Amino acid sequence: MPLSHLPINKKARIASIHGGYGFQRKLGVMGIREKQEIKIVSKQPFHGPLTIEVCGSQMTLGRGMAQKITVEVVQ
Amino acid sequence: MGNPNVGKSVVFSRLTGANVIASNYPGTTVDFSKGNMRIDGKRVEIIDAPGTYSLEPTNKAEEAASKMLKKADVLINVVDATNLERNLYLTLQLLERNIPVIIALNLWDETHHLGIHINEKELETLLGVPIVPTVALTGEGIKTLVSRIKDAKINEKIKPTSEEGRWVEIGSIIGKVEQVEHRHHTFRDKISDLTIRPHTGIPIAIGIIFCAFWFVRLIGENLIEYIFDPIFENLYLPIVMRLSEWLGPGIAHTILIGEYGVEIDFFESLGILTTGLYVPIAAVLPYIVAFYFTLSILEDTGYLPRLATLVDKIFHKLGMHGHGIVPLFLGLGCNVPGALSTRTLETRKQRFISATLLAICVPCMAQMAMIFGALGTYGLYYIGLVFLTLTILYIVIGLILNRFIKGESPEIFLEIPPYRRPSLKATFKKTWMRIRWFLKEAIPYLFVGVLIINVLYVIGILQWFGNAVSPVMEGLFGLPGDASIALITGFLRKDLAVGMLITLNMAPLQLVIAVTMLTIYFPCVATFAVLIKELGIKDMLKSAAIMVGVAIIVGFLLRIILLGA
Ligand SMILES: Nc1nc2c(ncn2[C@@H]2O[C@H](COP(=O)(O)OP(=O)(O)OP(=O)(O)O)[C@@H](O)[C@H]2O)c(=O)[nH]1
Ligand SMILES: [Mg+2]
């Protein structure tokens, strides 16, 4: 499912990231890469940004960017 | 060099003794600072650069960092030990460059309570360059870092590879040197969650901003009432009065003190030694102290990125994103650092909107202090009117510019640093640095401003100008013609300009119109110079046209709303 559908605090793994090379790299250097564990910390209302936790650090990213990240929930 | 917010600027201050601003959010440093230090008797130059995640820049500040790389003889790569994996990406890129590198493994103290164990000896062997654990904040490890700078090496074995290759390499390194204990949700994590989730975070944000304003006013007002005013009234005034007697009437008296024979009034006399000194020191400085102390606390705890997340949606509608809160907050202190910090925004459109709104709607603390002084006596209502108008303008102009300015406004992508307890010493030091900067900037301008005004008065140009534009000022804005003189003065210093408005004895509502227009119509010369550099002449002219246009429209509307037709 797209990252933006992931419930808060549920652990998931990044399955794929869509978008151009520049976009992938921009996320990649911040630790957002395929196979990484990811968790949502908060979602802002009205399609506002998401705050996520990857690689032990938190970051805020826009909803549109989150739409391009697919994740699968890990048990 | 290193990732954003890893403590580069603190390390730099430790190495050189030079003071630079460090705060707990990415993008504090947007330009280089140079400093000197001695290694084995030789003088070397150290440069503090903006943080960057990789050598492929995404904004102007990062671009500057990548450019600097070419000039360096030795790189001190500051690495966040609590975030080794991500930080090593840039490290590998740097190691590929054939420049000698030494690594400072900073924030070492935080690895302990995060349950992160790093074998730095092993890491040193793997990377083939010296690695020194440091706690820049306390100075731990800095001596060792200095003594090992001469050992900085090029690692011949690391060859440029692909992005994928680097991550594989990093994965294998991390596996060998780092162990992470499982960690429970701490109190700090809970606060972090509460302040960033909307249903708790938004009320908390409103509370914090309200408290911050209240706190600034409380400190500012009390400093003036109990410390600065008594000093000026009781100690300084007698000296000036004696000087006045000694000088007697004449041009020297007019310029230094004010018109002879008129009772000395620190606001109204317009002499260098009276108004020129009283305005920056007694009327403005107390608020500057209060504001920067409060801002430092907000910065050093790491609250700003969380606030940026909460307001992102609104700022996105205004053509920026949440990080636009940083130029706004810094601008409330002084528009100059505010304008510089627009560099952390990614596109030209975002920077243009952010800078234009800053210049139009964000009064600096010096100006606000004077507005409090001028309108405070009539009641909070009048001060509220000014700020309400400016807030509405910020939103309305932002919406309009977002629609008409071409270009992209990408979404927010911002690291949220952990909360840190601000060190009192660092907070005081930072506040003091900014105060010193204010005094150095403000006092010369005020002296020159007072001098020029006096000379122009003596020649009679100002009176002539005031009369000439009087019909326009009267007719459009309901203001006396002389208010135009204050507006012109505002180009030099806005605090002085508000001081001049006070002398015109206007009705409170007229004063509201005048100070609002003064805020909007143009930035002061110091900000103007920075904006030209940041935006380029062409965009600055556009921006200036918007400012003047808005000032005229708003002045006219306010006149109709507040004074009636
Ligand atoms: N606990 C702890 N805090 C530190 C240490 N070094 C720096 N800090 C804090 O970390 C924050 C970031 O420091 P800066 O020096 O501004 O970071 P920077 O790398 O220059 O950041 P940018 O200029 O934004 O790239 C500040 O709040 C510092 O007080 C350290 O060793 N331990
Ligand atoms: Mg810095």
- Quote the CA–CA distance of B123 and B127 in Å, as a whole number: 6
Taking CB atoms and an 8 Å cutoff, what residues of chain A touch B179?
none
Same-domain pairing of B43 and B122:
yes
- Quote the CA–CA distance of B531 and B548 in Å, as a whole number: 16
Specify the pLDDT at position B160: 84
| Element housing B166 (H / E) | helix B163-177
Average pLDDT of the residues in B438-461: 88
Tell me whether residues B410 and A57 touch, CB distance under 8 A.
no
- Strands B42-48 and B101-106 come out as unpaired
Among B85, B89, B416, beta carbon nearest to A51: B416
Average pLDDT of the residues in B307-311: 97
Specify the pLDDT at position B185: 79
From A61's Cα to the closest Cα of chain B, the distance in A is 4
Characterize A20-44 residue by residue with b for buried, 16 or more Cβ atoms within 10 angstroms of its Cβ, and e for exposed.
eeeebbbbbbbbbbeebebbbbbbb
- Quote the CA–CA distance of B451 and B11 in Å, as a whole number: 43
**Chain A residue with the nearest C-alpha to that of B314:** A48
Same-domain pairing of B71 and B145:
yes
Q: Is B270 helix (H, G, I), strand (E, B) or coil?
A: coil
What tokens were used for B433? 């640095």
Same-domain pairing of B148 and B261:
no
Per-residue pLDDT tens digits for A21-45 = 889 988 999 989 999 999 999 999 9
Specify the pLDDT at position B163: 85
| Element housing B264 (H / E) | none
> Is the predicted pLDDT of residue B561 greater than 90, yes or no?
yes
Same-domain pairing of B39 and B171:
yes
What tokens were used for B106? 């900073």
- The verdict on residue B104 lying in a domain is yes
The β-bridge partners of B413 are: A61
Above pLDDT 90, what percent of chain B?
Answer: 75
Taking CB atoms and an 8 Å cutoff, what residues of chain A touch B414?
59-61
Q: Residue type at B173?
A: I
Taking CB atoms and an 8 Å cutoff, what residues of chain A touch B163?
25, 28
**Residue B67 binned pLDDT confidence (cut-offs 50, 70, 90):** confident
Does A63 or B164 have the greater pLDDT score? A63
Enclosing domain of residue A17: 3-73
- The verdict on residue B187 lying in a domain is no
Tell me whether residues A62 and B413 touch, CB distance under 8 A.
yes
Q: Could you tell me the maximum CA-CA distance found in chain A, to the nearest angstrom?
A: 32
Specify the pLDDT at position B319: 95
- Quote the CA–CA distance of B203 and B185 in Å, as a whole number: 23
What tokens were used for A72? 């699968």
The β-bridge partners of B416 are: A58
Last residue of a domain, one of B180, B213, B233: B180
Same-domain pairing of B208 and B273:
yes
> Is the predicted pLDDT of residue B317 greater than 70, yes or no?
yes
Angle at B18 between CA B59 and CA B418, to 5 degrees: 55
The single residue listed with the structure tokens 């009034």 is B265
Per the structure, the count of domains in chain A is 1
> Is the predicted pLDDT of residue B565 greater than 70, yes or no?
no
CB neighbours (10 Å) of residue A58?
24
Q: Is B420 in the pocket of ligand 1 (CB under 6 A)?
A: yes
Please, what sign has the CA dihedral across residues B355, B357, B361, B362? negative
Tell which residue, B350, B335, B355, B361, has the closest CA to residue B412: B350
Distance B119 CA to ligand 1 centre (A): 22
**Residue B468 binned pLDDT confidence (cut-offs 50, 70, 90):** very high
Disruptive mutation site among B309, B314, B315, B318 for chain A (greatest number of A CBs within 10 Å) = B309
Specify the pLDDT at position B394: 97
Per the structure, the count of domains in chain B is 2
**Whole-structure pTM value:** 0.93
Average pLDDT of the residues in B548-557: 96
- Quote the CA–CA distance of B411 and A67 in Å, as a whole number: 12
**Residue B141 binned pLDDT confidence (cut-offs 50, 70, 90):** very high
Per-residue pLDDT tens digits for B344-397 = 999 999 999 999 999 999 999 999 999 999 998 899 999 999 999 999 999 999
Per-residue pLDDT tens digits for B5-41 = 999 999 999 999 988 999 999 999 988 899 999 888 8
> Is the predicted pLDDT of residue A63 greater than 90, yes or no?
yes
Residues contacting residue B537 through CB under 8 Å, at least 6 positions apart: none
- Strands B42-48 and B33-39 come out as antiparallel
- Quote the CA–CA distance of B332 and B443 in Å, as a whole number: 19
**Residue B162 binned pLDDT confidence (cut-offs 50, 70, 90):** confident
Same-domain pairing of B153 and B205:
no
The single residue listed with the structure tokens 């007002």 is B221
Enclosing domain of residue B392: 198-409+426-563
- The verdict on residue B192 lying in a domain is no
CA dihedral angle for residue B442, residue B295, residue B512, residue B544, rounded to 10 degrees: 70
Specify the pLDDT at position B164: 87
Q: Are B445 and B494 in contact (CB under 8 A)?
A: no
Tell me whether residues A64 and B196 touch, CB distance under 8 A.
no
Residue B80 sits in a domain of what CATH number?
A: 3.40.50.300
Same-domain pairing of B173 and B208:
no
> Is the predicted pLDDT of residue B119 greater than 90, yes or no?
yes
Tell which residue, B142, B79, B129, has the closest CA to residue B102: B129
Among B167, B198, B414, beta carbon nearest to A45: B198
- The interface predicted TM-score (ipTM) is 0.95
**Chain A residue with the nearest C-alpha to that of B306:** A60
Same-domain pairing of B165 and B297:
no
Per-residue pLDDT tens digits for B83-109 = 999 999 999 999 998 899 999 999 999
The single residue listed with the structure tokens 């904006």 is B531
- The verdict on residue B417 lying in a domain is no
